[in-house]
Structure 1
Amino acid sequence: MYASIATALLGASALAAARPSKENKGWGTTTSSTTEYGAMPSSTQSNGWGWGNKGGSSTSSAADAGQSAFSFPLPNGFPNVSASALKDLEIAAQGVPGNGAAPMVSEDAKTSFRFIAFNELFEVAFFTELVNNITSGHYTVPNGQSANVLRALHAVQAQEEIHALGANNLLKANGANPIIPCKYDFPVDKFEDAIALASTFTDVTVGTLQDVQKTLAKDQDPVGTIQLIGSVIGQEGEQNGFYRNLNGKIPSALPFLTTSKREFAFSAINQNFVVRGSCPNIGDIKLPIFAKLDVLNVDPNQQPVNTTFKYAADNDNVYSGNPDDLSLVYINQQTLPIVLPLKMPQQNGNTLSFEADFPGDFPFHMNGLTIAVVAKGKDFKSVDDVAAATLFGPALIEIN
């Protein structure tokens, strides 16, 4: 199998600038095959932490400021939630945050929790808009499932709010500023596409939280933080089983879900959903934003597989090296990175087109989420190695 790929020759710090259209989802491609946070008021503090307490840089992104976009606060005041509003939020979420003392964590753990707050704020925005699109009649839920779907999504929305509040409260307990929400634009316009998108970014979240657990353990952060992240991985997995089932898939995609990196998830959210210039303190999150890699089409039943990628980025970050020094790297399940050469490269301006194998047959079985990046180098033994050398990506491919 082969994938036709187009990518701009851009540096590792390049930032996507083009707003995704409704037609081009930008985030990734879903394919079926038979082989296939905000701060709470200082006056409403308590000593709980969990993923929420009792109480209340330059930026770049896919979307251009000034266009219609989702922005906070929510009707309940989120991300600034009063004590009474938080009680209602816990009822909607069907559970409460942990109430132990917030642990003191390492500097890298602060980076993780800054990313988590950033990610959860994005998810709150997405599910709030999704619920509104259903209740307003803009989205049609098939098969008379509207009431059941809304019941689930209302709970998910509230649970994500508690996740975001808790991550920011842990930061505040460690003397760090909470992450302030951005404005967001979501490039979907019907229910099925919104659910597919939710499934994909939830897959990425589950993979990225594996990375967070690993870094917490490596830095010998309090074991309670690792336990907490594990509980959220389970919660996100429960969500994704629901989304997959809604779109006609079995609830569990794989025996071992695809791993990811904080850098990949942070880049993807910025590239695809965040309105440029709308994040007040995104510079506090010390993670790179890679150049954007879009998947436009994948058909694993067609040989060669025609998979098209494209970039948009700042002109100051053009990659001027030899394309022969680059590799396409696939990350799938818990297997070692699959490193492939770029075949038949053809340059057109700042865009490089090339072909690369898509190993969709045995023994690879590239089911579930596959993360694709273009990295400088040829030999990568781990996902950590791949992230350290990544220039473009991630592109996200879902099969079955």
Structure 2
Amino acid sequence: MKPLLYASSVLVGSLVTAAPLCNNITDVAGGSLPYIDKPSSISTSAVKDLQLALFLKNLEASFSQTGLTNITGWNMSGYPQDAIEVVSKVAAQEEVHVATIIDLLEHYNAEPIPPCNYSFPVNSTQDFFELADKIISVGIGSTIGLAKRLAVTDPLLIQSVSSILTVESRHDAFFRHIEGKSPNPAPFDTGISDIWAYNLALSFTVPGSCPVEIALPTLPTLNVSESTYPRLANSTEPPLREFEWDPAQMTFVAEAGKQLLVGWVNQLNEPVYTSLNITVEGKGMTAVPPGMNGAVFAAVTAQQPDNTDDLALATLAGPVLLTLS
């Protein structure tokens, strides 16, 4: 078995400087930083949102670049001849996105967030393409949430954010298609909160390696798998998923005795809740709600908020990402 794919970062000084993009990157990406007028000022909340966006983009850029380096030496048989060329363009475009956000932050004298060191569970080309779909789905969900917040506080930043979002969706469509999945599994993409996006990204960072911490809550981890509960071959019952968490975490201690639920977030719908059937301490099963397609996010909770932001605040463990179609 090949070693896992690792990515390291090197930090010089206390800030990440928006170094000029080399011609090779901009040529492959198809363009450079946007030449548009910037707002005269932005809100404090927008600075924090852009710093989180950079935290996530650093991860995506690192994954794309290190993955590109590795797949050139892995077995590419069975994949389209232009797959490496497309991944090269994805990696270059992620570099442009990183530089764009750094440029915005530096324009307002705000501190850019340096990259962490990362560890990705990738041992093959297939692993890379499968994980790319998941990582980009997190990025898409986070950017939808970012656009929602900026629409209230800093609408003049929406143009840049929305332009990045559409390119991210094209990236994900490619990775889904190359896996043999539908590139457009649902009519709407799924937005998530900043807290959920941050915690999903943390699952790929090496603990203690981030030079700058984001001021958001760190949530207990949650694992999900297909249930091994026996089912009839032609059963029309909804599929089951098994969730596992650490019951010793203070979030669960504080909610002891309450019915645990799974909150499901998909597309533009309000969260849907299903009861967890506890099988052993720290483990339970529940059915996937009907109508879930594409990227689906889930978390364990004891409350039933009607929106994703409040669900993030009520999360006991998670979130996790499930790709259901």
Normalising by structure 1, what TM-score? 0.72
Aligned to 1:14: none
Q: Output the amino acid matched with 2:8.
A: S
Shift of 1:144: 5.2
Q: Which residue is equivalent to 1:42?
A: none
* Higher deviation after alignment, 325-334 or 365-374: 325-334
Instruction: After superposition, give the CA deviation of every residue in 1:188-216 in whole Å (9 maximum; x if it has no partner).
Output: 21111211111122122212211111111
User: CA contact under 8 A between 2:18 and 2:102: conserved in structure 1?
Assistant: no
Query: Alignment identity in percent?
Result: 28
Q: What corresponds to 2:284 in structure 1? A: 354
Query: What amino acid is the match of 1:142?
Result: S
Q: State whether residues 138 and 200 of structure 2, in contact with CA within 8 Å, keep that contact through their aligned partners in structure 1.
A: no
CA 1:158–1:323 in structure 2 vs 1: closer, same or farther (change >3 Å)?
farther
Looking at structure 1, the residues matched to 307 and 195 of structure 2 have their Cα atoms a distance apart, in angstroms, of 14
**Counterparts of 1:207 and 1:289 in 2: how far apart (Å)?**
18
Shift of 1:312: 6.0
Cα distance in 2 for residues equivalent to 1:71 and 1:119 = 15
> Which secondary structure does the structure 2 equivalent of 1:175 belong to?
coil
Deviations 1:306-353 (A, max 9, x none): 52333469x774631324253210111112211122224532xxxx22
Query: In the alignment, residue 297 of structure 2 is paired with which amino acid?
Result: I
Query: Residue 161 of structure 2 corresponds to which residue in structure 1?
Result: 229
Aligned match of 1:366: 292
Match of 2:320 in 1: 395
What is the aligned counterpart of 1:264 among 193, 196, 219?
Answer: 196
Report the counterpart of residue 64 of structure 1 in structure 2.
Answer: none
Letter in 2 for 1:319: F
Q: Hey, what does 1:57 align to over in structure 2? A: none
Aligned-pair CA distance for 1:222: 3.9
Match of 1:87 in 2: 23
Give 1:84-233 correspondences, 5 Å limit: 85-103=21-39, 104-135=41-72, 137=73, 139-143=74-78, 145=80, 147-219=81-153, 221-223=154-156, 225-233=157-165
Structure 1 pair 22–346 and aligned structure 2 pair: CA distance change class (3 A): farther
Q: 1:90 to 1:247 in 2, by over 3 A?
A: same
In structure 2, which of residues 186, 209, 217 is the aligned counterpart of residue 278 of structure 1? Answer: 209
The one-letter code sitting in structure 2 at the alignment partner of 1:162 is V
Q: Cα gap change, 1:22/1:201 in structure 2, threshold over 3 Å: closer, same or farther?
A: farther
How many Å apart are 1:399 and its aligned residue? 1.4
SS in 2 for 1:198: helix
Residue pair 1:254, 1:368 contacting (<8 A) in 2 also: yes
Q: How does 1:241-390 map to 2 (within 5 A)?
A: 241-270=173-202, 272-282=203-213, 285-297=214-226, 305-311=239-245, 317=250, 319-320=252-253, 321-344=255-278, 346-347=280-281, 352-359=282-289, 364-377=290-303, 379-390=304-315
Larger relative contact order (CA 8 Å, sep ≥ 6): 1
String of CA shifts for 1:349-371, please: whole Å, max 9, x gaps: xxx22222322xxxx32111111
Secondary structure of the 2:166 match is: helix
Residues of 1 paired with 2:94 and 2:68: CA distance? Answer: 13
Following the alignment from structure 1 to structure 2, what is the Cα–Cα distance between the partners of residues 311 and 124? Answer: 30
Q: Which amino acid aligns with 1:106?
A: S
> Alpha-carbon deviation of 1:86?
2.9
Contact 2:5 2:66 in 1 (8 A): no
Question: Displacement, 1:158?
Answer: 1.0
Q: What letter is aligned with 1:353?
A: K
| Residue 148 of structure 1: how far off its partner (Å) | 0.6
2: CA distance, partners of 1:312 / 1:131: 35
Cα 1:102–1:22, aligned 2, differ >3 Å: closer, same or farther?
farther
Q: Please state how far the C-alpha of 1:376 moved relative to its aligned partner.
A: 3.1
Q: SS at 1:153's partner residue?
A: helix
Is this contact kept in 1: 2:141–2:197, CA < 8 A?
Answer: no
Distance (whole Å) between structure 2 residues aligned to residue 22 and residue 353 of structure 1: 32
Q: Which residues of structure 1 form unaligned runs of 5+? A: 1-20, 24-66
Question: Is residue 267–residue 290 contact of structure 1 (8 Å, CA) maintained in 2?
Answer: yes
Change (3 A) 1:155 1:334: same
Alpha-carbon distance change, 149 to 120 in structure 1, aligned in 2, over 3 angstroms: same
Note closer, same or farther for the CA distance 1:68–1:208 as it changes in structure 2 (3 Å cut). Answer: closer
SS class of match (2:71): helix
| Whole-angstrom distance in 1 between the partners of 2:168 and 2:292 | 22
Shift of the alpha carbon at 1:169? 2.0
Q: Relative to structure 1, is the Cα distance of residues 198 and 144 closer, same or farther in structure 2, using a 3 angstrom cutoff? A: closer
Number of residue pairs the alignment of both structures matches: 314
SS of 1:69's partner is strand
Rounded Cα–Cα distance in structure 2 between residues aligned with 1:156 and 1:22: 24
Matches of 2:276 and 2:322, distance apart in 1: 18
Structure 2 unaligned spans of 5+: none
Equivalent position of 1:238 in the other structure: 170
Matches of 1:132 and 1:298, distance apart in 2 = 36
Q: TM-score, normalised by structure 2?
A: 0.87
